[in-house]
Amino acid sequence: MTREFTVVIERDEEGYLVASVPSLQGCHTQARSLDELLERIKEAIRLCLEVQGEEPGEPLELVGVQRVAV
C-alpha cells in the first residue's frame, strides 16, 4: 500500500538540504542535492515505519507554511 507523507525541506548553514517528516517523530535526513535528499528521505520513512513495527495512524494534514519575522 502506498502512503503519502508531507516532507519539510530546509537548507542549513553549511548548504546541506535537510528533510524531515513532521508526522513521523525523529524522521529526518540530509544531502547535498535534491535528488539524493528525496531518495534518502524515502529510505528514512521506510526505516521509521519498520522501527515502529506497525503502520502509524493517518499522517497529519498540512495546513500551511508561514514565514514570520520577529
> What percentage of the chain reaches a pLDDT higher than 90?
54
pLDDT tens per residue across span 20-54: 998 888 999 999 999 999 999 999 999 999 888 76
The Cα–Cα gap between 15 and 35 comes to: 15
Whole-model pTM? 0.77
Instruction: Grade residue 60 by pLDDT with cuts at 50, 70 and 90.
Output: low
Q: Write down all domains in the chain, each with its CATH number in brackets.
A: 8-51 (3.30.160.250)
Alpha helices in the chain (DSSP H): 34-52
